[in-house]
């Protein structure tokens, strides 16, 4: 719809043709409205008067993150107060900006591939009288806006806190605003250039989906290696954050600033631009940052002119051999009648595994999170110059070793928490209905009770979560050397907690499934339901934490505490599962 | 049999009446054609019949089962073909048919026979193991039709089923419509193609601005007292939906 209206603008009508810039702006405007669902949201809130319950809910969620931000600001303030006497406060700025840019690099891979190559609006955009570079520029602009939101939580607290504490003048704030607006362009343009080149070659292959998956993983791995580099530089000197350690970390010639800055100089330019304000250094760095952003953006547009359509056109086409099945083959492949539950479970599994965006954001995340932990732990260890670890506070294994001897209950609950988090961060449950999108009519039409369909979906989501739990268990057993006596109760607790969190996630998605997406990314990664479910998970786990703390204060035996937690979680899991089935019966007929 | 009794459906909290006090019965063995200009309420009526929308008031029954009160029984005897073939693109044609066969509980022998028959008729046999993603629009429409025919339902409800089909498939589909209803089953479909409705349907309903403005056999429609003299369905349609 929005693309069509864009087309009307682009077409120009019978009068003078609109300028290219005006055309691109029209497409960007349409893209933004479509991406953020502004028209739909306005219609639902103001005309249909639906979804109004979301307004207070988002308000509550916003208030919920205030304490977290307050904590972050306090931390920044403390570090600032340590650095200031040494005149090194700008290192703090550079840390925040680099972290933001590297985060953009990491998430940019997801966004760029999904928006440039899998968005359904491409079907409308490509036939319009627009140049490939213009289509890509419009999509790029939408991702940039998304990234402003992604990095706001990291960059803004640092920049604002430092600015306020240092009582900086207008130059600081003007430059900070310009830097913030420019921040995503360089990392995203770099990712786009690599992705556009990669997709050009993938498109000629017959194994497109597999290659997209491998290519995405490779790019994510690369971005992640940079993140690890950042973490390693930051954490390598111990987390105690004593004044000397912090000072050494920020100021030494081998510091993070120099190390990561050498790999990714725009972070340094941005820091100097903000810190320098209207001084010669500030303006020169600002000009450098803006200039390189413009050059890279232009380079991306030029590359798009040559490569974009060659990568995107025909990507959705799958070549299949035309071959008639023999009678025997047909007889073998026609199912002999599975139960509806099995059929729905099979459908969920196949669609998830065969859609690269869903596979990447769902199942692979389950495996990634524990794997990332291993990687970080291994690198952190290696970063200490091959020593024995020395019992340094940064080594999670050494940390756990200390905990092991200290309190088995804490270890078991900590391991259970780790496994539960690894199992539940993937968003499979909280996007299970949304992922059906325009095909949801089939689920509404088939003669299968909603609760049976929801049960099959639950089993699928739960198994994906258990994949995360299993990987986390292996990590705990092999890398953290967790004994079986601790591992078994931790696994048992996470299995029960998994039921609770999956059921809650499904209920959240069922309350407001996002079915009108045109880009599969929106069904899972940019789905508000996934975020709300994460908030709910944090809330539930925090409540469990305080419950356990209360039990520990009573000084009950370890086994008794574990038993109470297990039974309590089990009861909550059973209730939430049954509530979810009941809610499915209620909601299915209501979803129009 | 399909029965709609005083069915009303509005949007925007009653501001737009998509279907307004519609009462209609489609008898067993009948092909019922549902006509109307764009936005007249055809698709809304169809979605109400198959339970995809809930009426504000009134009752809808399929084969005697109240769609609101006994939805599973009503669904078990009904299949539906939407106006746009939005189906699981990542499944193969055969996987989709198997899925439909499983959820409707079609026994293996019947499933094998019907799948073979419809794949041949719709010329889908050579591509049935390919992902639906690789199908053309017409092929997707055909696989949705084959899936709707697989359970051999008592009632078929189709929204613009002929759009996107090539002439051969369209011809075969029309023959299938007749076959289906000759076996005493019910078929309700919407169309914009007047010739098809005129030649194929036992009865025709014309909806305009949510209200049923005419309903009956072709002869009954011709007998409606009108100002214009034309006798073709197109002329009748144009006059009845003029304002």
Q: Which residue has the tokens 């979804």?
A: A51
Q: CA distances (Å), A354 to each of A127, A358, A359, A526, B91, in order?
A: 28, 8, 7, 19, 8
Query: Where does CATH 3.40.50.300 sit in chain B?
Result: 1-77+155-161+180-243
Cβ atoms within 10 Å of A230's Cβ, excluding its own: 22
Mean pLDDT of the region A462-474: 92
Q: Give percent of chain A with pLDDT exceeding 70.
A: 75
Work out the minimum CA distance from B78 to partner chain A, whole angstroms. 9
Best mutation target among A44, A321, A441 (most B Cβ atoms within 10 Å) is A441
Q: Closest Cα partner for B173 from B183, B187, B184?
A: B187
- Going by pLDDT thresholds of 50, 70 and 90, the confidence category of residue A305 is confident
Best mutation target among A45, A328, A330, A339 (most B Cβ atoms within 10 Å) is A330
CB contact under 8 Å between A347 and B99, yes or no, is yes
CB contact under 8 Å between B51 and A338, yes or no, is no
pLDDT digits (tens, 9 = 90+) for A537-568: 888 888 888 888 888 888 788 888 899 999 99
Task: Look at residue B19 and give its three-state secondary structure.
Answer: strand
pLDDT of residue B20: 92
Say if CB B108 and CB A340 are below 8 A apart. no
Cβ contacts of A351 on chain B, cutoff 8 Å: 88, 90-91
pLDDT of residue A286: 93
Cβ contacts of A320 on chain B, cutoff 8 Å: 127, 129-131, 134
Say if CB B155 and CB B185 are below 8 A apart. yes
- Going by pLDDT thresholds of 50, 70 and 90, the confidence category of residue A257 is low
| Distance, CA of B191 to CA of B199 (rounded, Å) | 13
Q: For the residues of A16-73, what is the DSSP string, one character each? A: SPPPHHHHHHHHHHHHHHHHTTHHHHHIIIIIS--STTHHHHHHHHHHHHHHHHHHHH
| Distance, CA of B49 to CA of B62 (rounded, Å) | 8
| Max Cα-Cα span within chain A | 84
- Going by pLDDT thresholds of 50, 70 and 90, the confidence category of residue A101 is confident
pLDDT digits (tens, 9 = 90+) for B124-159: 999 999 999 889 888 999 999 999 999 999 999 999
Cβ contacts of A338 on chain B, cutoff 8 Å: 102
Cβ contacts of B107 on chain A, cutoff 8 Å: 337
Q: For the residues of B41-55, what is the DSSP string, one character each? A: SHHHHHHHHTTSS--
Q: Does A243 or A231 have the greater pLDDT score?
A: A231
Packing angle, helices A280-312 and A132-165, rounded to 10: 150
Question: Of A344, A355, A446, which is closest to B75 when you measure between CB atoms?
Answer: A446
pLDDT of residue A498: 95
Q: Closest Cα partner for A203 from A313, A107, A286?
A: A313
pLDDT of residue B12: 75
- Going by pLDDT thresholds of 50, 70 and 90, the confidence category of residue A236 is very low
Question: Of B82, B91, B108, which is closest to A441 when you measure between CB atoms?
Answer: B82
| Distance, CA of A461 to CA of A553 (rounded, Å) | 36
What token pair was written down for A88?
């090194």
pLDDT of residue A371: 72
Q: Closest Cα partner for B116 from A445, A446, A337, A333?
A: A333
Work out the minimum CA distance from A138 to partner chain B, whole angstroms. 27
User: How big is the A-B interface in CB pairs under 8 Å?
Assistant: 119
Q: Does A331 or A264 have the greater pLDDT score?
A: A331
Give just the sign of the alpha carbon dihedral B197, B198, B202, B203.
positive
CB contact under 8 Å between B126 and A324, yes or no, is yes
pLDDT of residue A231: 54
pLDDT of residue A3: 39
Q: Is B34 left (phi over 0), alpha (psi -120 to 50) or beta?
A: beta
Q: What is the dihedral of CA A483, A484, A488, A494, to 10 degrees?
A: 40
| Distance, CA of A464 to CA of A457 (rounded, Å) | 11
Best mutation target among A314, A334, A453 (most B Cβ atoms within 10 Å) is A334
User: Element (H or E) spanning B65, and its range?
Assistant: strand B65-66
pLDDT digits (tens, 9 = 90+) for B157-202: 999 998 888 888 889 889 999 999 999 999 999 998 888 898 899 9
Question: Of B52, B100, B108, which is closest to A336 when you measure between CB atoms?
Answer: B108
CB contact under 8 Å between A48 and B112, yes or no, is no
Q: Which residue has the tokens 């498939």?
A: B169
What token pair was written down for B182?
């000759």
Work out the minimum CA distance from A423 to partner chain B, whole angstroms. 25
Work out the minimum CA distance from B71 to partner chain A, whole angstroms. 8
Average pLDDT, chain B: 91
CB contact under 8 Å between B112 and A330, yes or no, is yes
Mean pLDDT of the region A572-589: 96
Question: Of B87, B112, B126, which is closest to A323 when you measure between CB atoms?
Answer: B126
| Distance, CA of A362 to CA of A404 (rounded, Å) | 32
pLDDT digits (tens, 9 = 90+) for B5-53: 999 999 877 778 899 999 999 999 999 999 999 989 999 999 999 999 9
| Distance, CA of A313 to CA of A434 (rounded, Å) | 27
Q: Does A231 or B78 have the greater pLDDT score?
A: B78
CB contact under 8 Å between B13 and A439, yes or no, is no
Helical residues (DSSP H) of A84-182, grouped into ranges? 89-113, 122-125, 132-165, 170-182
Mean pLDDT of the region B85-109: 94
Question: Of A48, A321, A340, which is closest to B12 when you measure between CB atoms?
Answer: A48
Work out the minimum CA distance from A203 to partner chain B, whole angstroms. 15
| Distance, CA of A428 to CA of A300 (rounded, Å) | 34
Q: Closest Cα partner for B168 from B108, B100, B97, B120?
A: B120
pLDDT of residue B72: 95
Say if CB B93 and CB B130 are below 8 A apart. yes
Cβ contacts of B80 on chain A, cutoff 8 Å: 441, 445
Cβ contacts of A319 on chain B, cutoff 8 Å: 134
Q: Which residue has the tokens 């803004």?
A: A156
pLDDT of A14 > 80? The answer is no
Q: Give percent of chain A with pLDDT exceeding 90.
A: 26
Q: Does A226 or A528 have the greater pLDDT score?
A: A528
Cβ contacts of B86 on chain A, cutoff 8 Å: 437-439, 441
**Which 8-state DSSP code applies to residue A437?**
G
Tell me which chain A residue has its CA closest to the CA of residue B88.
A439
CB contact under 8 Å between A320 and B134, yes or no, is yes
Q: What is the ipTM of this complex?
A: 0.92
pLDDT of A207 > 70? The answer is no
Cβ contacts of B94 on chain A, cutoff 8 Å: 333-334
Cβ contacts of B95 on chain A, cutoff 8 Å: 350
Mean pLDDT of the region A229-239: 49
Cβ atoms within 10 Å of B168's Cβ, excluding its own: 11
Give the angle subtended at the CA of A387 by the CAs of A382 and A391, to the nearest 5°. 95
- Going by pLDDT thresholds of 50, 70 and 90, the confidence category of residue A10 is very low
- Residues with Cβ within 8 Å of residue A277, at least 6 apart in sequence: A168, A169, A170, A171, A172, A174, A175
Tell me which chain A residue has its CA closest to the CA of residue B104.
A447
Work out the minimum CA distance from B148 to partner chain A, whole angstroms. 11
pLDDT of residue A392: 39
Tell me which chain A residue has its CA closest to the CA of residue B12.
A48
Task: Look at residue B25 and give its three-state secondary structure.
Answer: strand
Average pLDDT, chain A: 79
| Distance, CA of A371 to CA of A377 (rounded, Å) | 10
CATH number listed for the domain at residues B1-77+155-161+180-243: 3.40.50.300
């Amino acid at each position: 719809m929005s693309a069509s209206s864009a087309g009307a603008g682009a077409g120009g009508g019978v009068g003078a043709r609109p300028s290219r810039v005006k055309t691109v702006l029209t497409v960007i405007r349409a893209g933004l409205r479509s991406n953020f669902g502004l028209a739909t949201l306005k219609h639902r809130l103001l005309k249909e008067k639906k979804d109004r319950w979301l307004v207070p809910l988002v308000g509550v969620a916003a208030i919920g993150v205030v304490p977290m931000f307050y904590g972050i600001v306090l931390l920044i303030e403390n570090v600032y107060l340590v650095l200031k006497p040494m005149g090194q406060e700008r290192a703090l700025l550079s840390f925040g900006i680099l972290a933001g840019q590297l985060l953009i690099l990491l998430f940019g891979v997801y966004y760029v591939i999904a928006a440039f190559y899998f968005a359904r609006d491409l079907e409308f955009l490509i036939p319009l009288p627009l140049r490939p570079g213009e289509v890509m520029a419009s999509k790029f602009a939408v991702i940039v806006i998304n990234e402003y939101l992604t990095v706001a939580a990291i960059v803004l607290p640092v920049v604002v806190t430092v600015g306020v504490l240092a009582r900086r003048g207008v130059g600081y704030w003007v430059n900070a605003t310009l830097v913030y607006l420019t921040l995503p362009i360089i990392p995203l343009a770099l990712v786009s250039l690599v992705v556009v080149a990669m997709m050009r070659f993938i498109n000629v292959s017959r194994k497109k989906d597999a290659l997209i998956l491998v290519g995405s993983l490779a790019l994510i791995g690369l971005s992640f290696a940079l993140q690890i580099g950042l973490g390693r530089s930051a954490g390598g000197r111990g987390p105690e954050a004593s004044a000397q350690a912090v000072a050494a970390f920020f100021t030494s010639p081998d510091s993070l600033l120099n190390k990561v800055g050498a790999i990714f100089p725009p972070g340094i330019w941005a820091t100097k631009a903000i810190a320098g304000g209207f001084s010669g250094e500030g303006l020169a760095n600002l000009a450098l940052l803006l200039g390189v952003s413009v050059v890279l953006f232009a380079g991306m547009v030029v590359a798009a002119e040559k490569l974009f359509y060659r990568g995107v056109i025909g990507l959705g086409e799958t070549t299949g051999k035309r071959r008639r099945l023999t009678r025997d083959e047909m007889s073998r492949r026609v199912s002999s009648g599975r139960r509806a539950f099995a059929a729905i479970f099979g459908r969920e599994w196949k669609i998830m595994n065969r859609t690269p965006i869903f596979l990447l954001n769902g199942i692979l995340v389950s495996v990634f999170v524990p794997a990332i932990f291993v990687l970080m732990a291994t690198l952190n260890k290696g970063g200490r110059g091959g020593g024995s670890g020395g019992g340094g506070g940064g080594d999670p294994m050494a940390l756990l070793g200390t905990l092991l001897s200290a309190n088995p209950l804490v270890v078991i609950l900590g391991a259970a928490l780790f496994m539960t988090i690894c199992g539940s961060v993937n968003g499979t449950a909280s996007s299970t209905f949304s992922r059906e999108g325009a095909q949801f009519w089939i689920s509404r039409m088939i003669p299968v009770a909603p609760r049976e369909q929801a049960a099959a979906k639950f089993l699928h989501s739960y198994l994906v979560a258990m994949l995360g739990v299993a990987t986390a268990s292996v990590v705990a057993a092999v890398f953290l050397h967790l004994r079986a006596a601790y591992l078994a109760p931790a696994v048992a607790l996470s299995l029960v907690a998994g039921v609770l969190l999956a059921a809650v996630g499904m209920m959240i998605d069922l309350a407001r499934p996002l079915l009108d997406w045109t880009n599969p990314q929106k069904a899972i990664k940019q789905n508000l339901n996934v975020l709300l479910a994460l908030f709910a998970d944090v809330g539930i786990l925090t409540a469990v934490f305080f419950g356990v703390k209360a039990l520990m204060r009573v000084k009950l035996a370890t086994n008794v505490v574990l038993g109470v937690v297990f039974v309590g979680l089990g009861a909550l899991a059973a209730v939430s599962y049954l509530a979810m089935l009941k809610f499915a019966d209620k909601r299915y007929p209501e979803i129009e | 049999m399909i029965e709609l009794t005083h069915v009303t459906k509005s949007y925007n909290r009653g501001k737009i009446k998509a279907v307004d006090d519609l009462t209609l019965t489609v008898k067993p063995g009948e092909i019922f054609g549902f006509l109307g200009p764009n936005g007249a309420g055809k698709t809304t009526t169809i979605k109400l019949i198959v339970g995809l929308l809930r009426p504000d008031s009134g009752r809808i029954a399929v084969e005697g089962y109240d769609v609101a009160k006994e939805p599973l029984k009503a669904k078990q005897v009904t299949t539906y073909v939407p106006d746009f073939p939005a189906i699981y693109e990542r499944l193969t044609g055969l996987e989709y048919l198997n899925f439909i066969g499983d959820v409707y509980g079609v026994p293996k022998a019947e499933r094998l026979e019907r799948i073979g028959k419809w794949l041949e008729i719709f010329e889908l046999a050579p591509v049935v193991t390919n992902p639906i993603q690789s199908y053309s629009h017409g092929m997707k429409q055909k696989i949705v039709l084959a899936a709707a025919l697989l359970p051999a339902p008592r009632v078929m409800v189709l929204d613009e089923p002929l759009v996107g089909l090539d002439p051969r498939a369209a011809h075969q589909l029309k023959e299938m419509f007749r076959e289906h209803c000759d076996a005493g089953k019910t078929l309700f479909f919407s169309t914009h193609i007047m010739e098809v409705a005129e030649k194929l349907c036992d009865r025709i309903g014309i909806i305009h601005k949510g209200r049923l403005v005419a309903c009956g056999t072709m002869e009954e429609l011709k007998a409606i007292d009108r100002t214009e003299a034309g006798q073709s369905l197109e002329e009748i349609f144009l006059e009845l939906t003029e304002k």
